[in-house]
Amino acid sequence: MTSTMASTKTDHAGGISVLELDGRERGELEALARTLTRAGAGLVDDTGWQARARAESCRLPARLSRTVRAFRHDAGPDGTLTVTNLPVAPELLPATPTVPDSVERGATVPAALAVLLGCELGTVIAYRDEKHGALVQNVVPVPTLAGSQSNGGSVQLEFHTENAFHPHRPDFVGLLCLRPAHEDQVGTQVASIRRARPLLDAATLTVLQEDRFVTEAPPSFRTAELSSPLPVLTGAPEDPDICVDFHATRALDNAAEKALVELREALSAVRQDVVLRPGDMIFVDNRLVVHGRVAFSPRYDGTDRWLHRVFVHLDHRRSRGHRPGDGPVLT
Ligand SMILES: O=C(O)CCC(=O)C(=O)O
Ligand SMILES: [Fe+2]
């Protein structure tokens, strides 16, 4: 299935939810983001700036606010929300970065937009061992990472729950497109367990709910090497959460391995490819949806695909033990 970003908000039956901002809403949001570029030290990772962004997020256009809050309450069968026509002007951007661990420290208009929308959804957080703990990260192709299962790669990125190994993984992942891929068809891929579950038989679902899987941490996370044995599906059996990374999760026995293969097939069958264009921001409910990306061919000449990424938690307090100094960055 392919979803285009052309429509106004669709209902849940017709594909993933899309909210297209109108010209007035886009203008209001641009003014708000511009205010934030001048606030405080003008740095996203400054706690004073973040407090200001939280306060300003109360002034989002009402329709956007309503849509984000409804999505937070229930992310729907596809577990994703895409907001389009955000005020991003690709012609005004610097060259797409090409270095590993690239982040956006400056409170630019796109960085402010990503944080504003993230604040409306919950609390924007980051991880110390990933991209220097910066709140706004760049998803860009990096030559030395081309073949890697990371967002700097350009090979097919396997379906994953973001930071699946981490006890406080994000509740939501937001990806804002600044610059599209050359092919104009490089898709972020999403697949919801709410769509895939009906394709799985009862015995497979039972195995997936048992402590028969371990997930490795990426090499950059030095603190946690391997999760304890855990289920892939948790919570209400008729509407479970999913936590799996098809690159990093291993089954502990043959039946569990078979269940993992079947889960992957079911998710692939309900997969949707989302081609993000400049000014499109997709939010993925990381408890219901796995995401990945198709392979593509970067040029590394400053014109490649460029996304900003933010992570959102709903319960900031719950991760306090992982947040030294009560800041937004988790260990
Ligand atoms: O490049 C994409 O569309 C998604 C990359 C990804 O999985 C991530 O940044 O978390
Ligand atoms: Fe990801």
Query: What stretches of 244-301 adopt beta strand conformation (E)?
Result: 249-251, 272-275, 281-285, 289-293
Q: Which ligand is nearest to the CA of 282?
A: 1
The CA distance from 274 to 190, in Å, is 8
Share of the chain above pLDDT 90, in %: 86
pLDDT for 3: 42
Q: 133 C-alpha vs ligand 1 centroid, how far in Å?
A: 17
- C-alpha angle with apex 177: 287 to 39, nearest 5 degrees? 95
pLDDT for 192: 98
The CA distance from 190 to 193, in Å, is 10
Q: Which ligand is nearest to the CA of 138?
A: 1
Ligand 1 pocket test, candidate residues 150, 281, 297, 307, most atoms within 8 A of CB: 307
Check pocket membership of 157 for ligand 1, CB cut-off 6 A. Answer: yes
Check pocket membership of 45 for ligand 1, CB cut-off 6 A. Answer: no
Cβ density class 108-132: b for 16+ within 10 Å, e for less? bbbbbbbbbbbbbbbbbbbbbbbbe
Cβ density class 213-239: b for 16+ within 10 Å, e for less? bbbbbbeebeeeeebeebbbbeeeeee
Check pocket membership of 304 for ligand 1, CB cut-off 6 A. Answer: no
**pLDDT tens-digit series, residues 285-329:** 999 999 999 999 999 999 999 999 999 999 999 999 999 999 999
Check pocket membership of 179 for ligand 1, CB cut-off 6 A. Answer: no
**pLDDT tens-digit series, residues 212-228:** 999 998 766 756 578 89
- On the question of pLDDT at 60 being above 60, the answer is yes
**Could you identify the atom of ligand 1 that is nearest to the CA of residue 187?**
3
User: Where does 8-330 sit in CATH, by number?
Assistant: 3.60.130.10
Return mean pLDDT, the chain.
Answer: 92
List, in order, residues 6 or more apart from 307 with CB less than 8 Å away: 138, 139, 140, 175, 176, 177, 178, 276
The CA distance from 240 to 58, in Å, is 32
Name the pLDDT band for 240 (thresholds 50, 70, 90): very high
The CA distance from 228 to 237, in Å, is 21
pLDDT for 269: 98
